[in-house]
Structure formats: structure tokens, C-alpha cells
Amino acid sequence: MKAFVQDAYGPLDVLRFTDVEQPAVGDDDVLVRVHSAGVDPGVWHLVTGRPYLLRLAGYGLRAPKDRVRGMDVAGSVHAVGRDVTRFRPGDEVFGTCRGSFAEYACTPQSRLALKPANLDSVQAAAVPTSGFTALQALRDSGRVRPGQRVLIIGAAGGVGTFAVQLAAEVFGAHVSGVCSTGKVELVRSLGADEVIDYTREDFADGTRRWDLILDTAGNRPVGLLRRALTPKGTLVIVGSETKERWFGGVDRMLRALALGPFVGHRLRGVVSTERAEDLALLREYLKDGRLTPVIDRTYALAEIPEAIRYIHEGRARGKVVATVA
Ligand SMILES: NC(=O)c1ccc[n+]([C@@H]2O[C@H](COP(=O)([O-])OP(=O)(O)OC[C@H]3O[C@@H](n4cnc5c(N)ncnc54)[C@H](OP(=O)(O)O)[C@@H]3O)[C@@H](O)[C@H]2O)c1
């Protein structure tokens, strides 16, 4: 099968589009014929091996442990292991795997769910990583409650577009979204009660305060973000892109966690996890229309390096997806 393979960390040209063996199917595994594969900013980090912290986090010290990149997948079940009870060949599924930038991907059955019929495979492949992150940041790290005032920074990005919808439609919060001028209408259409164009307005000028701030972009210092919190408010650092080689965008999260015990604000980070229960929840929200993926653009599988380059520029408007078959 064709796949993007990586044998060393480095610039995007370490990715080779080549023929590899189909992954072996374990007893609890599902082999998926990939139709679409979601792309997100984390892929750039896994290709380059930066920040170095991620190598220590188990992805491989000198070279990546998994050769094929890509986590988010939507496709049809091609084969199942003998212990698989939830799926059979032909089922349309979505979820996560190790190696979706390929024609076939293998993953444990718990990482997949049936694709909602109202979504096409591009929309379904856009969901898992960003959806998990938005859900877990709001619910688990943020402990969001109905009626709270929630500010989402990076509201038009991959995580932000899910976070705005979840905060408004699922958790019943009053949502303010922060984005650039051209994305104001998009963020409003996702259910934000108020949209702040950060090129014109400073949300941290002290005139407004929020119970919960979810920060997915912009690298604003923790001290500045705290100025926009209510006295007992919560800040959740989801991520941000920097060129720092050791910690990258994680340094702000670490600083917030270190400061947390000494201040009245709750300062939290989030490390999203692939949970079967959360995939099932997201599926319900997608089915009943409370969540609709926003697709910025699609690329062919062979164009994966361009897709990663585009995402890494940090100007995405929703999600980027590679179409495979
Ligand atoms: N902690 C975790 O588990 C986890 C999981 C997934 C992702 N992440 C990280 O979270 C971050 C966001 O991911 P993503 O997928 O949402 O990224 P994305 O799709 O690339 O979106 C980034 C968004 O940031 C906006 N932006 C850029 N500068 C901004 C600024 N100064 N103020 C406000 N918004 C700004 C951009 O829109 P404009 O053009 O409007 O500026 C863009 O829509 C990344 O760093 C990613 O690595 C963390």
C-alpha cells in the first residue's frame, strides 16, 4: 500500500511517499481502508521531533517509533481481528490510529466508532483529535458550567471551532470567541454570543472578565490572560506554536501549572486522550447536529507535506483533511 513514511526527524522532506506492507491485524484490531485522514498541528511536531520534550514523551528519542504519520481517520472496515465484536467488514467508521496517512490503517476496536450517517468521511476524519481536545479542555480541565462566561482564544482554528460549538450548544455557556477579522462571521455562525477581533480589540484591557478562558493560540503571557479572568476564574492552556526547541508551546502550560497553587485562579493545561466514551459522546453530538465540523480545505494523500505546511502557518479556518480513496 502507499503511505507517508518517516525514518528520521527533520524538515518535511523526511516524509517519503512510498510502498509499504499493510499493517498486521492483531486479535483486537480493525484494519481500515482509509478514505480521509485529519491533519493537525501536532503532525509537524512529530515529523520534526520538536520540541524535544515530545521525544522524551515516548515518541522516539532519535527517530520516530511509528514510521507512518497521521492519527485521525475515517474509512471502511476492511478486515477485523478474531476478538473484534463491534465492527465487521464494510462498516463505515471514524476514530484514531497510528498511521492514517496511508491507504490502510490498523487500530484497536476501542479507538473507533461507527461514522454518523449525516457526515461524509472528510467531516468525520476532522473530528477525533480536535474534538477530544475541545471536549476535555472544557469539561475536565475547565469544569465548565451552564451560564458561565467562556472565552475561546483561537476560536476559528481546529480545536477552537469545536470548542465554540461544545461550549455553546452542549454546555450552555455564554461564549466569546477571539479570532482575526476574516473569521468573525464563521465564529458567530458556530454559536458564539460575542466575537472579538483581536486585530482591533484587546480582550484583556480590563473591561471584561470571563469565568473560563480556553487558550489555543496567540502565546499571550499567563499574567495577561489572568487579567481577563473573574477572581475565581479558570485558565486552560490548550497549546500554541512557538519555535522554542525544548518545550515549544508547552512552556506556558508548565508555567501556569507551577503558578497555580499560589494564586486564586485555577490554572490548568490539557493533554488530550483518545477515550472510547468521548468518541461515543462526540458521535452523539455530531448525529444530533450540536456539532458540525468546519472544513477549511482538503488535500490529496500525496500532498500531505503541503497540508502540514499550511497548518503550520497557523492560519487555519477549521480543519484540514487529506482525502485518500
Ligand atoms: N494540549 C493538547 O492536547 C492539544 C491537542 C491538540 C492541539 N493542541 C495545540 O493547540 C493549538 C491549537 O490547535 P489547532 O488545531 O486549533 O490549531 P489551528 O487549527 O492551526 O488553529 C490555530 C488558530 O489560531 C488562530 N490564531 C493565530 N494567532 C492568533 C492570535 N494571536 N490570537 C488568537 N488566535 C490566533 C488562527 O486564526 P487567525 O487567523 O484568526 O489568527 C487559527 O485559526 C496548537 O498549538 C496545537 O498543537 C494541543
pLDDT digits (tens, 9 = 90+) for 209-220: 999 999 999 999
Q: Name the β-bridge partners of 108.
A: 29
- Which of 179, 203, 320 has the most ligand 1 atoms within 8 A of CB, as the residue to mutate? 179
**In which domain, by residue range, is 159 found?**
129-269
d(CA 258, CA 254): 6
Residue 53, H or E segment: helix 53-54
CB-based contacts of 187, cutoff 8 Å, min separation 6: 155, 156, 160, 161, 164, 177, 179, 195
Nearest CA residue ID for atom 39, ligand 1: 315
Task: Give one DSSP letter per residue of 11-47, joined into a string.
Answer: SGGGEEEEE-PPPP--TTEEEEEEEEEEE-THHHHHH
pLDDT-derived band of residue 243, with 50, 70 and 90 as boundaries?
confident
Q: Tell me the β-bridge partners of 320.
A: 39, 297
- Give the tens place of pLDDT for each residue, 1-13: 999 999 999 999 9
Helix-, strand-, coil-residue percentages of the chain, each rounded to 5:
30, 30, 40
Q: Which residue's CA is the nearest one to ligand 1's atom 24?
A: 154
Q: Mean of the pLDDT values across residues 274-300? A: 98
Question: What pLDDT, on a 0 to 100 scale, did the predictor assign at position 170?
Answer: 98
Length of the chain: 325
Look at residue 287 and tell me if it is in a domain.
Answer: no
Q: Which three cell numbers stand for residue 56?
A: 522524551
- Which CATH number do you get for residue 9? 3.90.180.10
Indicate which residue's Cα is closest to atom 31 of ligand 1: 218
Any domain includes 277: no
pLDDT band at 245, cuts 50/70/90? confident
Q: Which residue puts its alpha carbon closest to atom 14 of ligand 1? A: 158
Q: Are 311 and 39 in contact (CB under 8 A)?
A: yes
Q: Is the pLDDT of residue 310 over 90?
A: yes
Shared domain for 213 and 305, answered yes or no, is: no
Claim to verify: residue 169 and residue 265 sit in the same structural domain: yes
For 114, the grid coordinates are 461507527
- Note the pLDDT of residue 203: 97
Write down the pLDDT at residue 250.
86
What secondary structure letter does DSSP report for 179?
Answer: E
Residues 161-183 have pLDDT tens digits of 999 999 999 999 999 999 999 99
Count the domains in the chain. Answer: 2
CATH label of the domain that carries residue 210: 3.40.50.720
pLDDT band at 242 (very low <50, low <70, confident <90, very high): confident
User: Probe ligand 1: pick from 136, 180, 197, 320, max atoms within 8 Å of CB?
Assistant: 180
Q: Is 117 within 8 Å of 143 (Cβ atoms)?
A: no
pLDDT, the chain, mean: 96
Which atom of ligand 1 lies at the shortest distance from residue 156's CA?
43
pLDDT band at 57 (very low <50, low <70, confident <90, very high): confident
Answer whether residue 79 shows pLDDT above 90: yes
CA of 71 to the centre of ligand 1 (A): 18
Contacts of 216 (CB under 8 A, 6+ apart): 152, 153, 154, 157, 159, 160, 163, 238, 239, 240
Q: Is residue 282 part of a domain?
A: no
Spell out the residues 6+ positions from residue 189 whose beta carbon is closer than 8 angstroms to its own.
none
Cβ < 6 Å from ligand 1: which residues?
40-42, 129-130, 133, 153-154, 156-160, 178-180, 183, 198, 216-218, 238-241, 249, 270-272, 311, 314-316
Asked whether 247 and 186 are in contact (CB, 8 A), the reply is no
Q: Are residues 259 and 159 in the same domain?
A: yes
**Residue 244: pLDDT over 90:** no
What proportion of the chain, given as a percentage, has pLDDT over 90?
A: 93
Q: What is the pLDDT of residue 246?
A: 84
Is the confidence at residue 248, as pLDDT, over 90?
Answer: no
- The alpha helices in 126-190, defined as continuous H runs, are 128-136, 158-165, 184-189
Pick the residue whose CA is nearest to atom 21 on ligand 1.
157
Q: Based on the domain organization, do 138 and 115 belong to the same domain? A: no
Residue 241 pLDDT greater than 90, yes or no:
no
Nearest to 324 by CA among 111, 23, 131, 74: 74
Of the pLDDT bands very low, low, confident and very high (cuts 50, 70, 90), residue 58 is confident
* pLDDT of the residue at 134: 98
Instruction: Please indicate, yes or no, if residue 281 is contained in any of the structural domains.
Output: no
Summarize pLDDT for 94-118 with one digit per residue, the tens. Answer: 999 999 999 999 999 999 999 999 9
For residue 253, the CA-to-ligand 1 centroid distance in Å is 14
The three cell numbers of residue 301 are 494523500
pLDDT in tens, 24-48: 999 999 999 999 999 999 999 999 9
Cell of 80: 477485523
- Ligand 1 probe mutation, 47, 213, 238, most atoms within 8 A of CB: 238
Please tell me the residue having the least CA distance from ligand 1 atom 11. 239
Q: Taking 90 as the threshold, does the pLDDT of residue 325 lie above it?
A: no
